[in-house]
Amino acid sequence: MKYINYSSVTIDKLKINKSQLPAIRSVAVRYPFLVSSSYAGLIQEPGDAIWRQCIPDVRELEDDGQLPDPLAEVSLSPVPGLIHRYPDRVVLLVSNRCPVYCRFCMRKRHVGCGDQPPDNERLEQAMAYIGATPAIRDVTLTGGDPLMLDDASLYDILTRLRAIAHVGIIRIGTRMPVTLPERVTPELCAMLKRFHPLYVNTHFNHPAEITAASTAACGLLANAGIQMGNQTVLLRGVNDDIATMRELMTGLLGIRVRPYYLHQMDLVKGTAHFRTPLASGLEIIKALRGHISGLGVPHYVIDLPGGKGKVPLLPDQFERDGDVVFLTTYRGERVAYRDITTPPA
């Protein structure tokens, strides 16, 4: 397995006040920092929506109230690099790198920690597990970002998966159309087209990320017959208002990307300053329904701690007792979930 090469920027080359550098560097020691030149070019000024998503914040070190792995991915890994949470689908981690290390990352504990992609031994273990488990029909490639792998490495993984008769659907979770749109080439799309049914879920969080370059990247994927969905994370100070979400969701439809999920921020250590109350997400969904096409209204979901799975939320759907809400999983289990937020800085 090999990673691609691309152009990145350093902290020193971004629009950062010199007095902020020591604090930012102290964060980067614990949680790696990396921004592609493409994404850095979208920053208009310090503190804007793009800046907040990629520039280290000292509050990342102040959040000790949560867990590094609240979704229990480690305990749900029967072999290294493979997560089996739902009966018929698995997540295959094929990269621990991204062109941008998002500050709200759900895998903040390990993404960017290590320079090498998964070795063949680990990949063989994962393929053997999938092959020996007929219930698995759906495999999602993620990481990190799977498109950090070069075309030949991706081709090898996809070929191995397609050789397993019971694997019907392959999905790729990637933020490349946003963070490194030049990675999406005609050659890549022609290769991916050979492995249908193949779906791509990408990750736009703000209308400013819908650019000529990201539009072109999504167009290449769509023209290859790849159905595209988008998973947005609800982020305080980035997109937690109705006008921004309306513009984002309608903008995505315009570039042939279907809004799929609006994620409540996971309870991941180092990300609490991004978290919004559940009321914010519910207000946004209520304001989208009927005011934009139903195609543009995503499912607002919580990925429950402990690996319990995703639960969709609608206004007035659940019970509340103070800061605790009670949700029912797809297995019918009633789970208490704390609606935890920190005061705005």
Residue 256 φ/ψ, nearest 5 degrees: 70, 35
Confirm whether 266 is a catalytic residue: yes
189 labeled binding residue: no
Q: Where are the beta strands (DSSP E) in the chain?
A: 8-9, 35-36, 82-86, 89-93, 138-142, 169-173, 198-202, 227-233, 258-263, 299-304, 309-313, 319-321, 324-328, 334-338
113 labeled binding residue: no
Q: How far apart are CA 231 and CA 228, in angstroms?
A: 10
- Contact criterion met (CB below 8 Å) for 112 and 101: yes
Return all residues near 11 (Cβ < 8 A) that are at least 6 apart.
21, 24, 25, 28, 33, 56
Collapsed DSSP state (helix, strand, coil) of residue 295: helix
Catalytic entry in 39, 52, 102, 275: 102
Confirm whether 258 is a catalytic residue: no
CA dihedral 255, 257, 263, 265 (to 10 degrees): -50
Task: Give every residue of the chain whose pLDDT is below 50, as ranges.
Answer: none
Catalytic entry in 52, 97, 103, 107: 107
Its pTM stands at 0.92
DSSP string, 217-263: HHHHHHHTT-EEEEEEEP-TTTT-SHHHHHHHHHHHHHTT-EEEEEE
Q: How far apart are the first and last CA of the chain?
A: 43
Catalytic entry in 6, 63, 89, 199: 89
Confirm whether 175 is a catalytic residue: no
Q: How far apart are CA 10 and CA 286, in angstroms?
A: 40
Give the chain's count of helices (H) and strands (E). Answer: 11, 14
In this predicted structure, what is the pLDDT of residue 28?
92
Catalytic entry in 52, 69, 103, 105: 105
Confirm whether 113 is a catalytic residue: no
Q: How far apart are CA 60 and CA 45, in angstroms?
A: 21
102 labeled binding residue: yes
- Contact criterion met (CB below 8 Å) for 116 and 167: no
Confirm whether 236 is a catalytic residue: no
Q: Where are the beta strands (DSSP E) in 77-203?
A: 82-86, 89-93, 138-142, 169-173, 198-202
In this predicted structure, what is the pLDDT of residue 152?
97
Catalytic entry in 6, 48, 59, 86: 86
Return all residues near 56 (Cβ < 8 A) that are at least 6 apart.
11, 24, 25, 27, 28, 31, 33, 103
Reported as a single tens digit per residue, the pLDDT across 82-116 is 999 999 999 999 999 999 999 999 999 888 776 67
Confirm whether 303 is a catalytic residue: yes
Domains of the chain (ranges, CATH numbers): 8-319 (3.20.20.70)
Catalytic entry in 39, 54, 98, 145: 98
> What tokens appear for 60 in the block?
């990342």
Confirm whether 31 is a catalytic residue: no
Catalytic entry in 261, 266, 308, 337: 266
In this predicted structure, what is the pLDDT of residue 345?
57
Q: How far apart are CA 81 and CA 276, in angstroms?
A: 30
Q: How far apart are CA 119 and CA 126, in angstroms?
A: 11
In this predicted structure, what is the pLDDT of residue 218?
98
Reported as a single tens digit per residue, the pLDDT across 147-162 is 999 999 999 999 999 9
In this predicted structure, what is the pLDDT of residue 319?
83
Confirm whether 310 is a catalytic residue: yes
